[in-house]
Each structure stands twice: as C-alpha cells, then as structure tokens.
Amino acid sequence: MRIPLSAPDITETDIQAVAGVLRTPHLSLGPKVREFERAISNYIGTADAIAVHSGTSALHLCIRSLGISAGDEVIMPSFAFIAVANAVRYESAIPVFVDIDPQTLNLDPDKVEAVITLRTKAILIVHTFGCPAEMSALLEIARRHRLYVIEDACEAIGAEYDGRKVGALGDVGVFAFYPNKQITTGEGGAVVTNNSEIAAKIRKLRNQGRDETAEWIQHSELGYNYRISDINCALGIEQLNRIDTILDRREAIAREYNQRLCQHPNLKLPPLTLSRRKISWFVYVVRLGDRFTQYHRDWIVNEMKARGIGTGRYFAPIHLQPIYRSCAVPKSALPIAEFCASRSLALPFFNRIRQEQIEEVCRVSIELIQVAEKRCDNRK
C-alpha cells in the first residue's frame, strides 16, 4: 500500500537497543525482560507486570490464573478482536456476548446484569480502539455480583479513566505490542496486576509451570512457553520511553482527520474527548451513516485499496465469525454491535503519516462516499 493502514515507528535508538542485546548472552529471561516489566508496572501504576509473547497469551494466562474453567461464563463484547473470546474457550469456558454503547463502542453497562447467572465468573472489559469503557458502572456491577474484572487494554495503553491508567482498575489487565499498536515489541504482551498471588501464578504458567525458585526441570503446574525474549523487550523499553510523545502525535492526527471530515453529513466521527476519560488513539475509525450498508462500506474498502490506501473493517462481531456461530449463541440480540461493525471503516493511522497523506485519504474517502451516496439514491 502506498499509504498503509498502520506502520511501526522505529528509531535509530530502538535499533541500537535491540542490537545491544544481541551482543550479550542474555537473549531470554534476562535483564531486559525484568526492566521492561518494571517500566510497564511503573507506567500503568500496578504492583507487578509480567511480559509475555502476545496479547492473546496474556489474556489466556489471566483466565487460567483466575481459575475460570469448563462451563464458567465470562461476559464480554462481541465487537472486539477474536482473541478475547478465544482465550476463554481455551479453558472450555463460555463467552457471553453483550451489546455495546454506540458512542464509545464499549460494553454497555445497562445490558450486563441481565445476562449474569450462577456460572458467571468474570466481566472481560475491552477498551475498544483506545477509548476507556464505562469503568465505574462496570466495576460496581462486578463488586455487587462478586465477579472478577479482566481489563483488555491491548488497544489502550496510556488511556485513563478518572485519572487512572486503564489496565490498573480491575483484578488483572492486559496489553499487546504487535506492530500496529501504540508501542511495539514486534510481538509481545503483558499482564498487570496488584495481586501478588496472581502475578506469581502467571509468572509460573508463562514459563512451563516452573517455580521461579525451583530447579529448571521442576514443573509444578501445567504451563506454557509464553515467554518473550530480551530482544523484544529492549525494543519495548525504548518505545515506552517516548510513549507520551507518541500518544500526543496520535491525538494530533485524530484531530486533523476530524477537522477535515467533520463537514460530511454522512460520516460519524470518533469523539475526540469524553468525560472522565483520556483516549489513547489506537486506530481512527469512522462510521458510515445509517443509509449505507455493509455493501457500500466494502465497496469503499476495495476502491481505496485500488488507489493504494489501506483501510480496515474493524471489527467483525465475534458471534458472527464462522467458528463462533454454532458454539456461542448470544443470550440477547446485539443490534448495535452488528450495525456498527457493518459500517465501520478504519483509515490509515500511524505516527509518521504525513500531512499530504492525511489530506489524500480524506479527499478520496469523501469522493467515494459521495459516489456511494448516489448509488443509495438510485436504489430508491
């Protein structure tokens, strides 16, 4: 793509840091992993952080360490990345999908209590696209029903709710560092928590079920190899060092898009500010107006691609994915998730996007939406 949907922002300092690790014998379980973990826990404001090789493995370790198992139910949005539900199914537990708030695209707290049963163990809250969920209402429901709160902050590092970083508000929080994220380690993830027992368990499960203090070949749990290398963590340390600049830059890009697209009546733009929240911009997603259908959105995606502009269809609801259709029938209808998913369009969004690229993306998007509008009119 001439203008990609996303692109990592790698500096010469990042490259030097990675090369530096390669000059040492410590490529895994070494000092850079610990340093990255300390940097993450300091930044988020939790007692501990455990670095792992992906956001998916971070989610899975949360489910395992909380003892969520066969037949247990976990409440979550369907308008999310599929790993959220997969992590629950790895333990034969059941994802229970709840509809979203159309403005924040996050779990609608008003719809959560209706699906709580005796088997419900946790609410898995996703801070979609970097916008914090309605935490005070969700935490209150969890407290009343004695449910765990797992915060999926994979798309939201640095976002805040009531002045506190997301990820630190529930029992456990997870982050992901794939190259399309605000900061990257190549592949990588982390769990944060204030609970020292959960942290110790996750540390053990990450490393084949070994006790930290025991002999290398002593395994006291059924664990995994979910380790992350020091090479990845060296990159993560450098990226985290400049996260404030990165988040400011991303916010400025979102503002620029909003300013250029706000005149268009048939586009719903993401809110730049929301009360009690600081947004950490992961992606920039617009929604086509009510008169459009998925057909129009997909046509625009293909036309943009033909012009060398990358876009994304974020997100396809999980309950409509072929692998979930038969096994996770929603207990209630999810009309807002389905409506938003069919009309969402993620535009190119990365730190180094240039002004003229933003201008081109906006110009082409508006042109194509106008053509799509004519098609809608002709169908009347």
Ligand X SMILES: Cc1ncc(COP(=O)(O)O)c(C=O)c1O
Q: What is the largest CA-CA distance in the chain?
A: 73
In the region spanning residues 291 to 320, those forming contacts with ligand X, defined by CB under 6 A, are none
Judged by beta carbon, residue 108 or residue 373, the one nearer ligand X is 108
Compute the C-alpha angle 229/230/231, nearest 5°.
85
Compute the C-alpha angle 300/264/309, nearest 5°.
30
104 near ligand X, judged by CB under 6 A? no
Judged by beta carbon, residue 95 or residue 189, the one nearer ligand X is 189
**For ligand X, how many residues bind (rule: CB under 6 A)?**
15
54 near ligand X, judged by CB under 6 A? yes
CB atoms inside a 10 Å sphere around CB 146: 8
N- to C-terminal Cα distance for the chain? 35
182 near ligand X, judged by CB under 6 A? no
Q: Read out DSSP for 179-228?
A: TTSSS--SS-EEEEES-HHHHHHHHHHHBTTB-SSS-TT-B-S---B---
DSSP strands (E only) in 157-223: 160-161, 164-165, 172-176, 189-193
What's the min distance (Å) between Cβ of 55 and ligand X?
Answer: 2
Position closest to ligand X via CB: 55
Judged by beta carbon, residue 152 or residue 238, the one nearer ligand X is 152
Smallest Cα–Cα separation from 3: which of 251, 306, 314? 306
Length, in residues, of the chain:
380
- Non-local (6+) Cβ contacts of 264 within 8 A are 366, 369
- Segment interacting with ligand X, rule: CB under 6 A, options 15-23, 50-58, 100-108, 160-168: 50-58
189 near ligand X, judged by CB under 6 A? yes
Judged by beta carbon, residue 84 or residue 304, the one nearer ligand X is 84
167 near ligand X, judged by CB under 6 A? no
Judged by beta carbon, residue 83 or residue 340, the one nearer ligand X is 83
Collapse the DSSP code of 348 into the 3-class scheme (helix H, G, I; strand E, B; otherwise coil) and give the result.
Answer: coil
What's the min distance (Å) between Cβ of 75 and ligand X?
Answer: 15
41 near ligand X, judged by CB under 6 A? no
178 near ligand X, judged by CB under 6 A? yes
56 near ligand X, judged by CB under 6 A? yes
Give the Cα separation of 285 and 315 in Å (integer). Answer: 10
- Segment interacting with ligand X, rule: CB under 6 A, options 29-37, 49-57, 105-113, 320-328: 49-57
What's the min distance (Å) between Cβ of 87 and ligand X?
Answer: 8
What's the min distance (Å) between Cβ of 42 and ligand X?
Answer: 22
What is the C-alpha R_g of the chain? Answer: 21
CA atoms 222, 226, 230, 234: torsion sign? negative
In the region spanning residues 121 to 160, those forming contacts with ligand X, defined by CB under 6 A, are 126, 152, 154-155
Catalytic center residues = 181
Alpha helices by DSSP H, the chain: 12-22, 31-44, 55-65, 83-89, 135-144, 196-206, 230-241, 243-261, 294-306, 322-325, 335-343, 355-379
Give the Cα separation of 34 and 236 in Å (integer). Answer: 12
Position of tokens 């940097």? 39
Over the window 73 to 102, marking each residue x when it contacts ligand X by CB under 6 A and - when it does not, the resulting string is: -------xx-xx------------------
What's the min distance (Å) between Cβ of 299 and ligand X?
Answer: 26
- The one among 6, 36, 40, 55 contacting ligand X by CB under 6 A: 55
63 near ligand X, judged by CB under 6 A? no
- Segment interacting with ligand X, rule: CB under 6 A, options 35-43, 53-61, 192-200, 209-217: 53-61
Residues that bind ligand X (CB under 6 A): 54-56, 59, 80-81, 83-84, 126, 152, 154-155, 176, 178, 189
